[in-house]
Every structure is written in C-alpha cells, then in structure tokens.
Structure 1
Amino acid sequence: MAEAFVNPQLLSWARQRAGFAVADIASKLKVPEDKVEAWELGLQKPSFSAAQKFAAKTYIPFGFLFLDEPPEERLPLPDLRTVGDNPIGNYSLELRDTILIASERQDWYRDYCLSEDRDKLDWVGCCSIENFASALATTKELLGGHLSERPKQFDQYLRQLISRIEDIGALVMRNSVVGNSTTRHLSTDEFRGFAITDDYAPVIFINATDTPQAQLFTLIHELAHLLVGESGVSDLNPKNGNRIEIFCNRIAAEFLVPTGEFQRAWQHEITDWRRNLPDLSLHFHVSQWVIARRALEHAYIDDKTYWTFYREVLTAFNKKKKDQAGGPSYYQLINTRYSRKLASAVASEALSGRMLFRDAQHLIGVKPDNLKSFAEKVLNW
C-alpha cells in the first residue's frame, strides 16, 4: 500500500487543532494508538487512505498535511467576548468553521446582489456608538417600536423580527451545529451569536443551541452590531466590559423592554421576585428570561439569582427538546440555517439555469432532484 509522505509535525498540529488526544484520533481511525504516535514522530508513514481519513477527521484539507509548517490562522472575526475585562481570544474549531461557512454564503449573496444591480444598504453602519438615542430610534424605525404591534407570544415575535430584518436586507442564520453536521454541536458557553457587516449582504448568526427566549435578545444585539458597522463574535454576558458589547446589549434591552416602563411596572413589594415575570412577559411580549435579565441590569436581583434562573430555563428547554418527537423537516431547517433570503436567491438562480445545481446544493444543502420541490413546498413558489 502506497505511503503518504506527510509532514509528521502537521499530523500533530491537525490533531491538537481539532482538540483530540492521540487516543481520540486512533479510535476515529480504528488504528492502535502506538501507530498514530509513530506517524507523529516520523517513525512510520500512514497510507494515503489513512492520511486522507486523518485529514477528514481533523477537518482540514488533505493537502495541509504536506506543508512544511502549519499555516498561520487568524481569527476570522473580532472576538468581543470577555472574561472580566479581558478578551477570551480563542475560537473552537466549531465556531471557526461556522464563521467560515457563513462568510462563504455571504460572499455569494453579495455577488448576487451586485449582479442584480442592487443598491447598497443605507442602514448598515449608519449609527454611531457615541449616540445611543439615535441608534435606538433607528432600531425602532426599522423594526417597529410599539408594544401593541407585537405578537403576544415571544416565539412569534422572534419570527416576525427575523422576517423584518431579512426584508431590510440582512441574512439571518440560526444553527445549533456546524453546517449540516449533526455530530459537531455549537456551545452557548462559547458564544451566543456573531455579526458580519457588509454594504450588500450583512449577516446575523444566532447560536440555536440557546433557548428561543435568549435568541430574541441575541437577534437585536447582533442587529445593533450591523447598525454601527462593527463585526464580531458575542457572548451577551451582562457583565461583558467591551464597549461595543455594552452598547449592543443596551440597544437590545431598551428596544425589547424600555427602562421607564419597566421600572414603573416592576412590583418591588412582592416577596418572590419571580411573580413579576408572567405579567411583565405578557406586557412587553417577550420571554420571562428577558424580563429577568432586565431585573439584573436594574439591580432588582443579583448575579447568582439571575444565573440560577437562566440555568433552569436552559435545562427545561433542553428537556422539552429531547422529549419532543420529531421536529422541523430538513428542508424547513434550510431556511433557518442559511436564511430564507439566501435559499430563495440560490433556488431562483439554479432553477433559472444561471448556476449549477451542485453549486446550489453546496450553498443550501438541497439535492438537485429535490430543488424544485423545495422551492414549491418551503419557499411557496
């Protein structure tokens, strides 16, 4: 069997980059651990087949294993997450690949907009971080700021806001895994969302592992990023000290639950603070989690109380999701994972003969034989 003259240093780099121990990659390749160790020490060479599998399991191009040294990899977006006042400064492979997937689709959609002679989006970057009042007014103008116009249920409100944000030109993507890989899960412990600014194809990505309640807040937070023209990865921690995150958190909080009205409605005399949640949730048309977050921001509850409540919400959400039979169809997920706006544009280009069906499948995951059916049943063509 032909040997692959790979660089042993690159084997070790690829394994560690993927976060695997020697035992992990040996198990995935179904080979003894000492064989992997021999490859990485340069004592043996893997076969071409084994080297190809090694590259696939560590999520790198096969050709990387033949480089003289590991490629320099920069963070694909600014890291705005903090521990205290210090940036975290490290992305998992899952987050990095998710950003690259979103960026690739953004690039395609930008070219599509240019080919259609569309105008630049005048709202992207139109606000200043130095003028909160103006930014909040712009958010209300774009999305509608009247409480009476909001659907009563927060999940309906979330869908309405996503639709409005796509109507004004952004691509909104929500996913809990990397692309379509159900074995590569995203973590809310690492990030809640990110924004990628662009004059034609701005992107909002929401980590769908998070509760739908929290996703509503994330959506407005990331929109605020686009309004001030600041790309970045967010954790939405109320204690985040980054000035951009503070600003975007404030926009989301004030848009969803205005301070003055919240302060007037909160009942301090109630012994159990949670008894405030149902009524205020219905009043503002948001989730009880958003109300709890506002209570923390106004020092009506402390950090420990808030995080205990959030963990309860997250646990209940995960249990409900696990107990639910089935779920949305794969094609319904396409609109969520890659944005309905993108899916519609790709399907239109492919069905009109202006792009190859295989390229369409790469972008939105719909097989060529099913693209027409997808357009009819999901896009309502």
Structure 2
Amino acid sequence: MNLQPDSKPQLEDFLRRCIAERGSMSFVEFMGHCLYHPEWGYYVAPRQRIGKEGDFFTSSSVHAVFGRLLFRQVRQMAQILAAEAFTLVEQGAGEGHLALDILDAAAEQAPELYRRMTYVLVEVGSDVRRRQEQLLAPHVAAGRVRWADFEQLDGLEGVFLSNELVDAFPVHLVEQTAQGLREVYVDWRDGEFREELRAPSTARIETHLAELGVSLPVGNRAEVNLAAADWMQDVAAKLRRGFVITIDYGYPAAELYAPLRRNGTLMCYHRHQTSENPLAHVGCQDITSHVDFTTLQRSGEPGGLRPLFFGPQYRFLMGLGFVEMLMELEAREPDPNRARNLRLTLKNLIMPEAGMGETFKVLVQGKEVGAPPLHCQRTLADIRLPLG
C-alpha cells in the first residue's frame, strides 16, 4: 500500500502567504518552491521518489547494466586523464543506485582505479543523503565516497556526471500572444492556484530565445531553462580538466521549440501517473521539462568545454557494449524464462519508441583533453559480435 501524501498543506499555506503579501509569483519561483523548498520541497522532504513505490523510474533503476556500461566510459576517461587522484562527481544522484553500480564495477574490474578514486555526491536533501549513505555503506567505509555542496567544488580533475538532473531545474513558462511574449504567473483565486499571463519577469528570457533563433507561433507555450545555462557555466568553471557527462531527456533547440510542440514539454509525475497540471499535488509530484541540449553546449564553450559526443541514449549504450553485455548475461542465465525477462527489461534502456533509448540523450563534453576517441563514439559497424 502506498501511504505517501497527495499534498502538503504547509507548503500550500506558505505559497498562499507569499502571494497574499507580494502578489502573484512567476511560475519559475512557484516550481522552485514546489521542488526545492528547504522543508517541504519534493526533492528535499522525505519521500520515495524512484522505483515501484515512488513516482517514476530512471535508467539506473531499470538494471545495474546501465551503471556498469557507464563505468566503461568513466574508466577510459580516467586513463586519458592519467592523474594520481581521480574524482567522479555526481549531482542529483537520487537513491544512489547509479553510484552503487559504478563503484561496484570499479571495485571488481579496476581495483587500482578504485583505490585512487573519490566519488563525490552533490545532493540537496538530508533525507536523500541518509539513504545514499546506507546504500553505499561498504564504499563509504572504504573511503571512496564523500558528500559536498555544489558551491564547495573547485579545481576538479575528473568527470562531472548527472543523470536526469537538468530536467528538474525550475523553468520560466512563457506563451506567445498577439500582444507579444508573456510569462506565466501563479495566483490564488477562488480557493485554488490559477495561472495568469504577465510581462516577462526578466529580459533574459527574450534574449535567450533570440540567441537560439527561436520565434514561437502565437498560441504556443514553451519553457525557458535559464538555470540550466547558468549551471553549465558553473560546471565549466569548477572543472580544471576532465569531462562532463549529461544524461537527460530532451532535444536540440530547433526541435524542442518546433511549432508542433504547441504546449511545450512541461510534465508532472505522481505515483507513476502523468499529468500536465503543475498546480496540483503541491510538493508531492515531480515537475519536469525537456532539456535544451543546444543551450548546454553553448553555455559550456566559454568555460572551455568542447562537445565530444551528443546522441540518443541507445547509441551511447551500444557504443559502450550494450549488445555484448546483454549476450554475456543471457549466456550465464540457464533459465530461459529469466533470460527472456532480462532481455525485455534491458530493452527499455535502448528502445526508441516505448523505452528510453531515443528520448533520452547523452552529451559528453571535455575540457583540456583534446579530442580523444571515446568508447561511446563507436558505431554499429565497429561492434564485432561473436558468431552463433
């Protein structure tokens, strides 16, 4: 039985008081409170978010294969850097499953690298940190894991990793009207939160869209993730030398802001049910929007980040040996039914339509590393499969 709450009266009261005192608030502020309020925010307060008892699944919650394949790329990056100490930072690690799979793989397959690596977790909620500590206890005891605030990071040499982080950054929600671009604000009227359209809260919104060459048709809505641009600039500044791996669902700007996407991409997740109403289940549902990967690439360039790979998740995983690992796992499984179930489970990671393979994208950027040939860049023609 799922006993998780459907609303948080304390957060609703807080938001109503803010509106009563200052007037309607921009949607980006409303979303920020819903997700990251220090006491009642969705990502801060105790709650099961990932998995069957939560609100959604992630690639790392599907199977350990995702993390083990990702470790293959991380291991190569560590070899390229050839430094005495190797740091792997993961921001927004959730329950810590991806960290566990990567650390397990490192301990088993590359003990020398494991001994000199530090896995740094950047997390906003103390409850999440507590659960991560429990899950990663053996690696914590081995001195391989520590926690840090994002502001504390500096002079990194290694890999900065995020998996489904940027989609949960608060976004400005805008609509193109016959009178010009308007921003969505949230008000409290007639006993409920309601939208209203007002002039943009910052000139950065229109400047951002103009720099991308985006002109929304009248009636279209879209999300503008200014926080993502700022974040990538900060990541570039904190990385002295190394790589950035960003995994998330999204598109290049031209596709994200295409005229056919009339309602934008804002989506909410609550108990594995989706909706397009971010004003409901305040503090108890995830609110996301698709990531603009063009902005992430452009924002990293002034700080020295150069794109090395960008493509759908299925291409990334195939390049890292997904097919070979699947065949190996199936060969080890004597029960044909379990082998079939394994195959069906892992297909979720690469299937373009029903699974995560196409919508999810992977961006790999490098700083002060040149243009090395990465494992993830392998094409299908490069993959040599064993014969029958």
TM-score range, shorter chain: under 0.3
Larger relative CO (CA 8 A, sep 6+): 1 or 2? Answer: 2
Please tell me whether Structure 1 or Structure 2 has the larger radius of gyration of its CA atoms. 1
Could you say which structure has the higher helix fraction?
Answer: 1
TM-score when normalising by structure 1 = 0.24
Instruction: Judging by fraction of residues, say which structure has more strand.
Output: 2
